[in-house]
Chains A and B, each alone.
Chain A
Amino acid sequence: MSPQSESGSAFDSAYNFAFLDEQTKRMIRRAILKAVAIPGYQVPFASREMPMPYGWGTGGIQVTASIIGPDDVLKVIDQGSDDTTNAISIRKFFVRTTGVETTESTADASLIQTRHRIPEKDLRADQILVFQVPIPEPLRFLEPRETETRRMHALEDYGLMHVKLYEDIAHHGHIATTYAYPVKVAGRYVMDPSPTPKFDNPKMDRMAALQLFGAGREKRIYAVPPHTEVKSLDFDDYPFELPEWQDVCAFCGAEDTFLDEVILDDRGKRMFVCSDTDHCSERRAAGHAGPALFDGEAAD
C-alpha cells in the first residue's frame, strides 16, 4: 500500500512506458473500443509476445498495458489474493515498466487486474476490472472449430449451449458447471466470464465498473460495459443458483464470501477462509472475527 513512486517517475527507461510500443497500444485500444461497442463479442487482436508465458495472463497484461496511465493505482490479484506468486510477478512487471503506484486495497485501486475472481467489494464507475482469460470461446468444448463457433455467434445459434446444460441435469441432477459458467451479455452474445467461479457471475451483472477481458494466446479481447445486463444461462425449472458453504470464514466470520478450503492436517481437519484477502483483512480490522480467532487452533 506504500506508493512505489510519484506519478510514474521511476520506471525502467530501457522499455517504453508499460512495455508495449505506442502503435501496439493504439491497436489494442481500438480492439477494446470495438469490444465495448459490442458487449460480449470477441474481437480478434494481434496479440504480442510478452515476456511472460502464454497462459499466465498475457492477454490481461496487454489490456492493462494499453490503458494504464502514470496516475493509475494498480491492484493485481490471482485467486482473489494479492500475494500469490503470479500476481506478485505481474505487479512487479508493471512497477518496473510504469512506476505506477500499487495497492492491495480494492477501494483505492483505479485499475484491477485479476485472474479467477471478482473482488467482494462493489466496484465503482471510476474503476476498471481487467480479466486474464485462457479460453475466451464459451462454445469451444462443444465445437472445437473456430470457423463454426464464429458462425454460431453471428447467427445467435446457441441451442448447443443449452444441450450442455441439459446433459448436466440429466446426468447429475444439477447444472454441473461451477466455473466459467456461460452468460448472455446484453441479451445477445453468449460469453465466457473467464474461469471465475459462478459465485462471481451475479457481480458482473450491471456492474458500475468497466470489465475488460484479454486472452493473449487466443488473441481475443471482449468487454462488458458499465451497467450492462449479464445473465447466467439456465432453465426455467432449474434456475441458476449460487454455491452454498456450510461454513463461514475462519478469520473474519463472513457468511457471504467465496471461501477457500485450507487443509490443516491429514486427518480431515480443515478450515474455510475468504478467497478475497483484502476483503477479509478489512473486515477483521473493522472488528469482525471468525471461529479460528476464538479457539486459536488454526492461527498462523
Chain B
Amino acid sequence: MYVAVKGGEQAIENAHALLAEDRRGDQAVPELGIDQIKQQMTLAVDRVMTEGSLYDRDLAALAIKQARGDLVEAIFLLRAYRTTLPRLAETRPVDTGAMRIRRRISATYKDLPGGQVLGPTFDYTHRLLDFALAAEGAVPDAPEAPQGDDGTMPRVSDLLANENLIETEPAGDDGAPPPDLTRDPMDFPAERALRLQALARGDEGYLLALGYSTQRGYGRTHPFAGEIRMGAVEVEVFVEEIGEAVVIGEITLTECEMINQFAGSKTEPPQFTRGYGLTFGFCERKAMAMALVDRALRCRELGEEATAPAQDEEFVLAHADNVEASGFVQHLKLPHYVDFQSELELVRKMRREIAEGRWAEGEAADVAAE
C-alpha cells in the first residue's frame, strides 16, 4: 500500500503507551487494587468468570482492571488466558441440591421446605442513588441467619418430580461423555448439553433480550420461576491413584429452574417442562434469561413449531458468544481497501456503460431476441 501506513509499528507502540496512561487516569488518585475489584466489584467479577468460562476471582479482577472496566474486553482476556491452561482433570458433576444456600427463592410456592431466603439481593431496594456511598464509611454487619432445622433445601423441581408433575431429566449418564464446546466445534443440530454450554458462555445482554422476547410472545413458553438458588457447592475430582473423589474446593453458583407449561400428548399425560440456567458466582439475571432461552430452544424435542428467533437454534447459538461477536463487528475497523477498490472499479464501470447507453441496448436486444 501507499506510504501513508509506513511507521505502523511506532504508531502501535505509541497507542499502547497512551492506553496505559488513560487506564491509570489521574496519578493523584490512588491506584485501584485487584483486591478492591475482587471485594467491591463482585458482580462484575462474577460475570467475567461466567462468560470467560474460568472460575478465578483474582484473574477476573485483574482482567477487569486491565480492560478499564470494559467487561466484554475482560471476558476476552480471560478466555485468551484460558486457552493456554493445561487440562489436568475433569471434575465430577456438582450437586446443586447440596448447595450451601445464600439465596433461595421460589415464585411457585408460598412456603416450602427450607423456606424462602432472600439473601443479598437488589430486588427490594429502592433505586435511589445513595449519596452516603459517595463518602467512605463503615457498613454495619448484616444479621446472622438463624440456623435452619436440618439445613436441607430440596429443589422445587424434585418436589414436583415426586408427584410426576414435571418431566424427568434424562439421566445423561449413558456412558457417553458429554460434548465439550471448548474442545470440539459446534455441530448442528446441537444436543441440549452442547446448547447449555453455549448459553452459559453466552453474552448476558443477548440472552436477556432473547429471553425477554419469549415473554412478549415470540416463542412463548409460559414460564414460572420455579426456583432460583445461589450459594457454594463443593467441586470434586476423582483421583485414580486413591480410587475416590476428593474435594478440591468450593465455588459459588447461581442456578435457575424455570417451570414451563406443556399440554401433554396422546402418549404422555400433561406435565410441566423445564428450562435451565446456571452461572458462576451471582449472575441471577443471566441465569434466568438462560433458562428461558434453554426452554425456547427445546421446541423441536417437545414438538412445538419453531417460529420465533429464540427458538431458532442456529441463530441463537451462532451469535451468543460476545468474544466472537465483538471481534467480528470490530474487525470492520481493519483496512478493507482492496475489497472496496474492487467494488469501486465495478461501480465506475457500470456507470460508464450506462452513460454510453451500452447496458440499455444490451437489455433491449436481450428481450427482442425472445
Contacts and interface: CB of A to CB of B under 8 A. Distances in A.
Is chain B in direct contact with chain A in the complex (CB below 8 A)? yes
A162 B238 CA distance: 56
Interface in A112-152: 115-117, 134, 144-147
A85 B350 contact: no
B80 A84 contact: no
A115 B315 CA distance: 27
Given A53-B327, A85-B8, A85-B11, A273 B1 contact: yes
A88 interface: yes
A275 B324 contact: no
B91 interface: no
B2 interface: yes
A44 B327 contact: no
B8 A243 contact: no
A79 B76 contact: no
B1 A277 contact: yes
B27 interface: no
A260 B188 contact: no
A300 B337 CA distance: 20
Interface in A35-50: 44-50
A219 interface: yes
* Interface residues on chain B, size class: 35 or more
Contacts of A86: 334-335
Contact of A116 (B9, B80, B185, B338): B338
Given A145-B314, A179-B342, A277-B1, A83 B8 contact: yes
Given A53-B330, A275-B1, A117 B80 contact: no
Nearest to B79: A49
A19 to B, nearest CB: 8
A195 interface: yes
A23 to B, nearest CB: 9
Interface stretch (B82-90, B246-254, B280-288): B82-90
Given A53-B326, A217-B324, A173 B342 contact: no
A174 to B, nearest CB: 7
B171 interface: no
A266 B6 CA distance: 22
A235 interface: no
A28 to B, nearest CB: 12
Interface in A198-250: 198-199, 217, 219, 243-245
A260 B342 contact: no
A145 B318 CA distance: 10
A210 to B, nearest CB: 22
B184 interface: yes
A258 B80 contact: no
Contacts, number: 156
B84 A179 contact: no
Main secondary structure of the interface of B (DSSP, over half): helix
A258 B328 contact: no
B334 A260 contact: no
A23 B68 CA distance: 34
A105 B294 CA distance: 52
B18 interface: no
Given A56-B327, A176-B346, A79 B338 contact: yes
A174 B350 contact: yes
A259 B1 CA distance: 9
B140 interface: no
B12 interface: yes
Contacts of A172: 350
A243 B331 contact: no
Contacts of B188: 146-147
Contacts of A1: none
Contacts of B183: 46
Interface of B: 1-9, 11-12, 76, 79-80, 82-84, 86, 182-189, 314-315, 318, 323-324, 326-331, 334-339, 341-346, 349-350, 353, 358-359, 362-363
6 contacts: A117-B338, A144-B314, A146-B314, A173-B353, A243-B345, A261-B341
